[in-house]
Amino acid sequence: MASIVSDTLKKAENVVMGDSNTKIAQLAENTVNHDSKAQMTTDFGTKINNTDDWLRVTNNDQTGPMLLEDPIGREKVSDGHFNMDKIHRFDHERIPERVVHARGAGAFGTFRLYESAADVTNAGVLTDTSRETPVFLRFSTVLGSRGSADTVRDVRGFAIKFYTKEGNWDMVGNNIPVFFIQDAMKFPDVIHAGKPEPQLEFPQAQSAHDNFWDFQYLHTEATHMFFWAMSDRTIPRSYRMMQGFGVNTYTLTNDKGERHFVKFHFTPELGVHSLVWDEALKLAGQDPDFHRKDLAEAIENGAFPKWKFGIQVLPESREHDFDFDILDATKVWPEEEIPIRYIGELELNRNPDEYFTQTEQVAFCTSHVVPGIGFSDDPLLQGRNFSYFDTQITRLGINWQELPINKPVCPVMNFNRDGAMRHTISKGPNYWPNRHEATPPANHSKAAGAYIEFAQKVEGIKQRTKSAKFKEHFSQAQLFFNSLSAIEKAHVINAFAFELDHCEDPIVYERMSQRLADIDLGLAQAVADMVGGKAPEKAGKPNHGKKAKGLSQLEFMPENPTIKSRRVAIIIADGYDALAFSTVKAAVAAAQAIPMIIGTRRSEIFPAGASKTPGNGIKPHHHLEGFRSTMVDAIFVPGGEDSIKTLSKNGRAQHWIREAFGHLKAIAGTGEAVNFIHNTIAIPTISVSSDSNVEESYGVVTMKTVHPESLKDTVSIAKNGQGFLEQFFYVISQHRVWARELDELSTQVAY
């Protein structure tokens, strides 16, 4: 990855960020640079002479015992003391990983408003359009441990820390707008059921096991969420290509003292896209860090990820106007009834300097809000407000908020004192009230800008129950499944079939086969047939047939076709067509995509007609065995008689083509490569070019005869483009060629 990132872009990134970002400037105070000018020291500042050899008794003929010298009894720190310190430090480097969301990646960025929400809130971060608020965003999987793979089927965390002028605001969200449970009391159970089964601690980072699906069946409230979990939403192509949701219902309060309920939304500029399941399975082994690499690569290349920020707002007077409870975290707010109002933009534009001190030690709490933003009575949110703060103490200690990544950029002043690893040195009184009237609260000093809780009137009886609307669990699951496209529904069926096939207890997969009939009879029958359950004969509940906007991810395509940040593999062997190669490579880069040269070897590959003298060829980024088609978005094979002869005899090169076809990716070829691609796919339905005309067939774009004027390095991407690159790039921009799967072509190719 690093080999294709220019130093110029890195320098440009630093210039863009500069010191205007208050959080980056603050972090710089705690950052040290390891370079050739730095001298190694102990943690206590003493320069070190030798860090490779333990102090020991020895002579020229033999090695004697190592010395554990007493550091207390010595006035001078010795090499032996340092080596003990080095081992001690190594032994204590690990901290407890997160109970959930342990596997993650993050980046710094900026939040901007382009429309004030002052009509519903007085929060500065949501009303001041002149601000640029620093943020840190951490993406994650939920169930897996810190060392698990990125591409497993799982919900993705989408947690943002806004470093506002009024304090830190943490929005601890997911890439799915609902959750498995309604009440935080059930959180330990849903996580215990999803984690590896306790006897032998497997499977890792998977929901395909008995305990998980046993819990889902026994908790009907989870039905809506597990349909989302079985959709393509849980195998995203990239963190940059998934939505973010606040999940819970929060509140906003304006200057008039009016309160509104709110849901938060983030919609990616690049659209919402996913892997295909076979691809996700393979990537988990081939490149377990696929998503974190993808994020870092995009930022390093200047293709900064962006999301539109939107709010769904509901006045208090309309709280009970719907057939669902707006405080139920297992329900969405349909956009037809409560539209999303897009008012801002989030951009990520800087990678962390060190993973542990920033991405690992960042700590999010749903309870961290700023004036103008508050909490509803959402029973899941109420429990999260306790749990998140509590778990940070276990991971990081009571003073975790003083770690650089967690510190606000505004002043912090209170009477909290002491505790392990306290950093701040506080002078003056340590209590309130005090005779000096030092550090008064706002109700005493009359200072403006304090957080004031909304005066909510509460009536009821203390009991363990929820409102009646919380008891309806199937309507929105039906709404979600009904709203999916045909290809998405097929993927949901296949996902259930995979998951339940891994359940060993018949009661689990048989009961789940029946539960699915509460949502869609055809779905239930298809899954039951695959997993060995008894196929239901009638629907458990009638399907209402309704659909809703914004539930199918195919609705979220970029506003304009783009291949920005997409990886395009160019496969070559000795004797490749230099014209086609260089033109396509330049065009890919000009479109802000990433050309990746894949060769039969990683040493120089020479074009047709060139002498095999060092410097006359191209050094690939990877060779065919070291990289796989799963790691790119599209493939181009230039012609060249000798190159194609070599590739035609290479089983891995053929596998690249077949696998990309099976994974529904764009494939293109020119010259002699046309027949190579056609023969490798070996499906008569696919037609290819036989002359200088461009042929596009199920996402396979070919041009047999290449003239210099046939290719150009600047391309306008449009649906009805006539040129070779116009058509190839448009197919890439559509993410996948779904027609291959719908017409059952992808299943005819072995990959």
Task: Write out the binding residues.
Answer: 388
**How many angstroms separate the CA atoms of 259 and 120, rounded?**
7
Tell me the two tokens of residue 525: 């029958």
Q: Which residue has the tokens 């960025």?
A: 109
Tell me which H or E stretch contains 586.
helix 578-590
Tell me the two tokens of residue 342: 């897009």
- What DSSP letter does each residue of 433-471 carry, written as one string? S-TT--S--HHHH--SS--------------S---GGGG
List CB contacts of 716: < 8 A, sequence separation 6 or more: 726
Name the amino acid, one letter, at 468: A
Tell me the two tokens of residue 373: 């933003």
**How many angstroms separate the CA atoms of 319 and 41, rounded?**
62
Tell me which H or E stretch contains 265.
strand 259-268
Collapsing DSSP to helix, strand or coil, 572 comes out as: strand
Cβ–Cβ < 8 Å for 147, 110:
no
720 a catalytic residue = no
The one catalytic residue in 21, 83, 168, 174 is 174
List CB contacts of 208: < 8 A, sequence separation 6 or more: 153, 498, 499, 500, 501, 502, 503
Tell me the two tokens of residue 223: 């039905």
The one catalytic residue in 21, 81, 83, 101 is 101
**How many angstroms separate the CA atoms of 345 and 179, rounded?**
25
Cβ–Cβ < 8 Å for 409, 163:
yes
**How many angstroms separate the CA atoms of 744 and 738, rounded?**
10
Cβ–Cβ < 8 Å for 328, 377:
no
Residues in binding site for heme: 388
Burial label, 202 (beta-carbon count in 10 A; 0-12, 13-18, 19+): exposed
**How many angstroms separate the CA atoms of 701 and 670, rounded?**
9
**How many angstroms separate the CA atoms of 260 and 318, rounded?**
9
Asked if omega into 708 is within 30° of 0 (cis), the reply is no
Strand (E) positions, 17-125? Answer: 56-58, 63-66, 104-113
436 a catalytic residue = no
Q: Say how many C-beta atoms besides its own lie within 10 A of residue 409's C-beta.
A: 18
Name the amino acid, one letter, at 3: S
Active-site residue set:
101, 174
